[in-house]
Amino acid sequence: MSSSEVDTSHSDQPVADLPLYTEEVISLVIFWGLAVLLFAQFFSRYALDASLGWSEELARYLLILLAFSGASIATKNDAHIGVTLLHRYLPDTVLSVLQLCIASLNLAVVLLLMGYASQIGLALPLYTLASLPISMSWFYGLITLLLLLMASRSILVMKYRWRLMRQAHMTEVA
């Protein structure tokens, strides 16, 4: 495959697919929990004329968790956004090395975020949400777990990119 024929699109199969589709199930549960919560807030506010004050804060945190679970899905599918302008003009070996470096940088950022989230979660066991008696440690613990899932997927993406780099090197040598 020449550098002008490099496939910059994503493969049909995710890089690392679990039989139970862990990220998808987590996202589905969070999404429908958020939908039910927002419907209850809408119904109570406009039909019953009595707002559920705690629902807005809980919805905000569920939306944050949904973003992290969605980022884990994007990592699993190797589908994070990126600038691919130079990818068309680079030789296969350089392109594969560049993609491996990008995957490594992605893993480093995810591990850094995971470290920060766990530190914050351990530092906030006494702090609760403003409207509910739920510790902020639970929220940061869930973020840490989602980042751990994302880091494991990033490692699998790196392994995939390593194999592609080796294949590109072998085809160029041959």
pLDDT digits (tens, 9 = 90+) for 45-75: 998 988 888 999 999 999 999 999 999 999 8
Give the tens place of pLDDT for each residue, 87-142: 888 888 888 888 889 889 999 999 999 999 999 999 998 898 888 899 999 999 99
- Write down the pLDDT at residue 10: 46
In the chain, the percentage of residues whose pLDDT exceeds 70 is 87
Q: For position 160, what pLDDT does the model report? A: 87
Q: Is the pLDDT of residue 2 over 60?
A: no
In a domain? residue 139: yes
In a domain, residue 120? The reply is yes
Report how far residue 84's alpha carbon sits from residue 8's, in angstroms, rounded to the nearest whole number.
Answer: 8
Which tops the pLDDT comparison, 169 or 145? 145
Give yes or no for residue 19 having a pLDDT over 70: no
Confidence class for position 147, pLDDT limits 50, 70, 90: very high
The tokens 């506010």 sit on which residue?
Answer: 45
Domain count, the chain: 1
Give the pLDDT confidence score for residue 142 in this predicted structure: 96
pLDDT at 50: 87
Q: Is residue 148 part of a domain?
A: yes
Residue 9 located in a structural domain: no
Q: Say what the pLDDT of residue 5 is.
A: 46
Domain presence at residue 123: yes
Average pLDDT of span 40-49: 91
Is 14 a member of any domain? Answer: no
User: Rounded to 5 degrees, what are φ and ψ at 81?
Assistant: -70, 155
Average pLDDT of the chain is 85
pLDDT band of 144, cuts 50, 70, 90: very high
Domain extent, residue 58, equals: 19-79+89-173
**Tokens standing for 49?**
């004329």
Q: What is the DSSP string of 35-86?
A: HHHHHHHHHHHHTSS---HHHHHHHHHHHHHHHHHHHHHHHHTT------TG
Asked whether residue 71 is assigned to any structural domain, the reply reads yes
Q: Is 134 helix (H, G, I), strand (E, B) or coil?
A: coil
Q: How far is residue 138's CA from residue 168's CA, in Å, rounded to a whole number?
A: 45
pLDDT at 9 > cutoff 50: no
- 33: in domain: yes
Task: Tell me if 1 sits within 8 A of 171, measured CB to CB.
Answer: yes
